Amino acid sequence: MKKITSFLMISVLGGILTLGGYVLFIEDDTIFIQESSGIPAYTPVNFNSLPADGNVDFTEAASKTVNAVVHVKNVGTVRQSPFSSSTAQALQGAGSGVIISPDGYIVTNNHVIQNASRLQITLNNNQNYMAEVIGTDPTTDIALLKIDAEDLDYLPFGDSDNAQIGEWVLAVGNPFNLTSTVTAGIISAKSRDLGMDSNVSSFIQTDAAVNPGNSGGALVNTYGELIGINTAITSKTGTYVGYAFAVPSNNARKIVEDILEFGDVQQGILGIRGVQAARVPGDYNLNISEGVYVDQVEDGSGADKAGIKSGDIIIRLDDVEIRKFSDLTGYIGSKRPNDIVKVQVIRSEKMKEFDVTLTKKADVYQIKVIGLEVTNATAEDLKQKNVKNGVKITRGLTPQMQNEQLYGTIITAIDNIPVKNVEDVERIMTQRSSHDPITVTFITPDGEKQKYVWR
């Protein structure tokens, strides 16, 4: 097997800090609410309507935005004194949110509302509402809330694929509990991979000042369109030093629509495993340094059925140029299963194009204690290894496990308990003591049975 998987290294930027909360005392207010209609349809603005003198005016975009960005507060009930039975409402965490419909749907970050007991929303006019969590996607750190209100100011989604490096943007939120704060900057980079939680991410990077409390707030262009949800900063001090990151609006919008329509996130995949072309070893004799080198194509996937092969270099998806792996994951993250994506590749120095129907991402589980990700094995997988049960390793989560090249290996038992699917794996890992050694039974790609013990 080609050892390209050993080069699937995810860069981790030091000091990544998600933007979060404060503690103070506040008053209780209102009640929980009911869900209503969906979000407004996207209507693109005229991107050729800049002033003739080339000057950019931030005031109109700011005025459109401040009333649509809210303060999100995680409210809990606490005892005021250990010697008293009286209680008060305390703010356990705080961040920002963006109203995306006139009837009260709000997008924020999952980490802002995670483990919340009650959520209070404060509008720019100081009106307070209690919010209901409609759905969350921890992988992308997006959450959808709902308040019981009508005729609210809201922000229309923009097309984040159209955002350009060097374009002026505004960040709007509630840093350090300062409401309705607007800062300006430019888009510093796109498809930025922060390598958080072993997932390849794809953020918009900006130098607009973003600080703790901005989490879940709006990144807007000069037309007042929402092009990102501010999510993270990288800083040794925990405050802004020039680097801030936002989830692209196309990805956030897709997650919101999935939650409203399906109740969860529908993730489509191409069905390839690859690496940035520039990281491919020199002995592969590639004449291209940009794009995604396809190392493996999953059997039965959309890429497999369309004719994509190992060794192809993906350089474009639809109209989006693919220079690195995070370009690919960012664009596919805005798509659903059964969407058709036009994939342009270089094969043997010739250009080829394929229409790939995305398939649904299989159930996966990360066994973080040993650094492996597994998925359900197909009947064909089990037949090839001559076993009756097991789950298949899809990737290593650590450099060491990536070097072991275990993709396709079958795990038949954990702690001598047979496993049939990822639910079995999750149940065993949840119930076992973290202090006990873990025994894993493998069926290697060569069909050999082996046991390993992690202590």
User: Residues for the chain: how many in total?
Assistant: 455
pLDDT of residue 41: 65
pLDDT of residue 218: 96
The residue with greater pLDDT, 196 or 269, is 269
- Whether residues 392 and 332 share a domain: the answer is no
- Whether residues 209 and 167 share a domain: the answer is yes
| Mean pLDDT value across residues 201-208 | 91
| Mean pLDDT value across residues 177-186 | 88
pLDDT of residue 90: 58
**pLDDT(46) > 70:** no
Q: How far apart are CA 16 and CA 446, in angstroms?
A: 41
Q: How far apart are CA 220 and CA 239, in angstroms?
A: 21
Q: Is 355 helix (H, G, I), strand (E, B) or coil?
A: strand
**Which of 333, 360, 387 corresponds to the end of one domain?**
360
**CATH number for the domain that contains residue 333:** 2.30.42.10
Token digits for 351?
A: 């250009």
- Whether residues 257 and 384 share a domain: the answer is no
Q: Which pLDDT band, with edges at 50, 70 and 90, does 433 fall under?
A: confident
For residue 1, is it within any domain?
Answer: no
**pLDDT(184) > 80:** yes
Helix %, strand %, coil % for the chain, to 5? 20, 35, 45
For residue 22, is it within any domain?
Answer: yes
- Whether residues 317 and 413 share a domain: the answer is no
pTM, to two decimals: 0.72
**pLDDT(310) > 70:** yes
**Which of 236, 262, 288 corresponds to the end of one domain?**
262
Q: How far apart are CA 33 and CA 28, in angstroms?
A: 15
Q: Is 332 helix (H, G, I), strand (E, B) or coil?
A: helix
For residue 8, is it within any domain?
Answer: no
Enumerate the active-site residues: 111, 141, 215
Contact, 233 vs 240, CB < 8 A? yes
For residue 50, is it within any domain?
Answer: no
Token digits for 144?
A: 């959808």
- What's the alpha-carbon Rg for the chain, to the nearest Å? 24
pLDDT of residue 314: 97
Q: What is the CB-side half-sphere exposure of residue 144 using CA atoms within 13 A?
A: 24
Q: How far apart are CA 413 and CA 399, in angstroms?
A: 24
Contact, 209 vs 188, CB < 8 A? no
Q: Of 364, 358, 195, 193, which Cα lies nearest the Cα of 267?
A: 358
Phi-psi region of 52 (alpha: psi -120 to 50; beta: other; left: phi over 0): alpha
Q: Of 259, 123, 240, 236, which Cα lies nearest the Cα of 188?
A: 240
| Mean pLDDT value across residues 78-85 | 56
pLDDT of residue 33: 26
Maximal CA-CA distance, the chain: 78
H-type helices in 153-227, by residue range?
none
Bridging pattern class, strands 268-269 and 364-367: unpaired
**CATH number for the domain that contains residue 130:** 2.40.10.120
- Whether residues 90 and 236 share a domain: the answer is yes
pLDDT of residue 334: 93
- Whether residues 190 and 292 share a domain: the answer is no
**Which of 234, 262, 290 corresponds to the end of one domain?**
262
- Residue that the structure tokens 């398939």 belong to: 359
- Whether residues 225 and 355 share a domain: the answer is no
**pLDDT(286) > 90:** no
For residue 161, is it within any domain?
Answer: yes
The residue with greater pLDDT, 234 or 80, is 234
Q: Which pLDDT band, with edges at 50, 70 and 90, does 204 fall under?
A: very high
For residue 2, is it within any domain?
Answer: no
- Whether residues 179 and 95 share a domain: the answer is yes
- Whether residues 139 and 281 share a domain: the answer is no
- Whether residues 297 and 401 share a domain: the answer is no
Q: Which of 66-80, 201-215, 405-419 has the lowest mean pLDDT?
A: 66-80
**pLDDT(24) > 60:** no
* Domain that residue 299 falls in: 267-360
- Whether residues 217 and 348 share a domain: the answer is no
pLDDT of residue 196: 57
Contact, 390 vs 421, CB < 8 A? no
Tell me the average pLDDT of the chain.
82
pLDDT of residue 194: 78
Instruction: Convert the pLDDT of each residue in 402-420 to its tens digit.
Output: 778 788 899 999 999 999 9
Instruction: Convert the pLDDT of each residue in 84-129 to its tens digit.
Output: 555 555 556 789 999 999 999 999 999 999 888 899 999 999 999 9
- Whether residues 449 and 427 share a domain: the answer is yes
Number of domains observed in the structure of the chain: 3
For residue 395, is it within any domain?
Answer: yes
Q: How far apart are CA 191 and CA 11, in angstroms?
A: 13
Instruction: Convert the pLDDT of each residue in 56-70 to its tens digit.
Output: 778 988 998 999 999
